[in-house]
């Protein structure tokens, strides 16, 4: 098996890269901070790791890089789209940046991956959305909306793959709270997971080709509640 991880420099993506690297799985890892990717490559010299700079805002370039990586690796089986941003009290510019990265950047890569696996005759696309995909938020409406886009887009791709028998598994990973650079300024977090524990559960969900997985598993309870409670009650929480 060969994999690609988009956004592997820090946090969840990095822990996933280290977990796969420790198991000797050949992979390509991308991100903007290339020195952090080189660190991972140097830590696991026994594993074939292809490092590539990629800013998902430049979506045409990202898709070209995927073309190049598919040749360099001689094909791959799983694409994990993890790159994402979330800003506390975002400015207008940060809200737009969130959409460019979490929505447009994600779409460009998920679309590329679907076409690639369709031609190849199968494969797996993994998107790291969020528990936030299930509701709006008074604090970060743009982030929750961007994650809802990801979740719905993946649901649509899954339906397409089943309907037309494309043989492409789509796994929507929905973390609750994970201790990463993105959440370091967050207050009021609960059931916080380490990125290493999150990576183990994410890999298990990928291996068993889950359609949707909550990370950590007990967040499924919060998901059930979020699906039931009305907006007036949500306003008091998010």
Ligand X SMILES: NC(=O)c1ccc[n+]([C@@H]2O[C@H](COP(=O)([O-])OP(=O)(O)OC[C@H]3O[C@@H](n4cnc5c(N)ncnc54)[C@H](OP(=O)(O)O)[C@@H]3O)[C@@H](O)[C@H]2O)c1
Q: Which residues bind ligand X (CB under 6 A)?
A: 7-13, 31-33, 54-57, 82-86, 101, 128, 130, 175, 177-178, 180-183
- Least Cα distance to 222 among 155, 146, 133 occurs for 133
Q: Nearer Cβ to ligand X, position 99 or 166? A: 99
Instruction: State the minimum distance, in angstroms, from the CB of residue 122 to ligand X.
Output: 25
For ligand X, give the closer residue by CB, 118 or 137. Answer: 137
Supply the minimum distance, in Å, between the C-beta of residue 228 and ligand X.
21
Of residues 119 and 217, the one with the C-beta less far from ligand X: 217
φ/ψ of residue 7, rounded to 5: 90, 70
Q: Minimum distance between the CB of residue 167 and ligand X, rounded to whole angstroms?
A: 26
| Residue 157 · residue 114 · CB < 8 Å | yes
Report, in Å, the least distance between residue 37 CB and ligand X.
8
Cβ proximity of 5 and 27 under 8 Å: yes
- Kindly state the tokens that stand for 38: 């080189």
Q: Which is nearer to ligand X, 123 or 176 (CB)?
A: 176
> DSSP string spanning 140-177?
-HHHHHHHHHHHHHHHHHHHHHHHTT--EEEEEEEE--
Please, which residue, 106 or 230, has the CB nearer to ligand X? 106
Query: In the complex, what is the shortest distance from the CB of residue 40 to ligand X, in angstroms, rounded to a whole number?
Result: 11
Cis bond upstream, residue 216 (ω within 30): yes
CA distance 105 to 213: 22
State in angstroms the smallest separation of the CB of 4 from ligand X.
13
Q: Is the distance from CB of 150 to CB of 170 less than 8 angstroms?
A: no
Closer of 11 and 123 to ligand X (Cβ) = 11
CA distances (Å), 36 to each of 43, 84, 132, 238, in order? 11, 17, 28, 33
């Amino acid at each position: 098996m060969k994999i690609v991880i988009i956004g592997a420099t820090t946090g969840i993506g990095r822990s996933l890269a280290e977990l796969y690297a420790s198991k000797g799985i050949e992979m390509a890892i991308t991100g903007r901070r290339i020195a952090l990717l080189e660190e991972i490559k140097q830590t696991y010299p026994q594993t074939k790791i292809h490092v590539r700079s990629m800013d998902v805002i430049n979506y045409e370039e990202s898709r070209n890089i995927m073309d190049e990586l598919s040749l360099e690796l001689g094909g791959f089986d799983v694409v994990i789209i993890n790159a994402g941003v979330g800003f506390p009290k975002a400015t207008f510019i940060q809200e737009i940046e969130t959409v460019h990265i979490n929505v447009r950047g994600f779409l460009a890569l998920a679309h590329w991956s679907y076409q690639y696996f369709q031609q190849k005759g199968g494969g797996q696309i993994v998107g790291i959305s969020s528990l936030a995909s299930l509701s709006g938020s008074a604090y970060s409406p743009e982030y929750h909306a961007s994650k809802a886009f990801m979740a719905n887009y993946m649901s649509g791709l899954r339906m397409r793959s089943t309907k037309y028998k494309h043989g492409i598994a789509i796994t929507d990973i929905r973390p609750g709270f994970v201790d990463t650079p993105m959440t370091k300024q967050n207050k009021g977090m609960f059931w916080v997971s380490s990125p290493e524990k999150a990576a183990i559960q994410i890999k298990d969900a990928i291996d068993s080709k889950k359609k949707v997985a909550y990370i950590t598993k007990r967040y499924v309870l919060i998901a059930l509640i979020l699906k039931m409670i009305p907006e007036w009650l949500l306003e008091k929480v998010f």
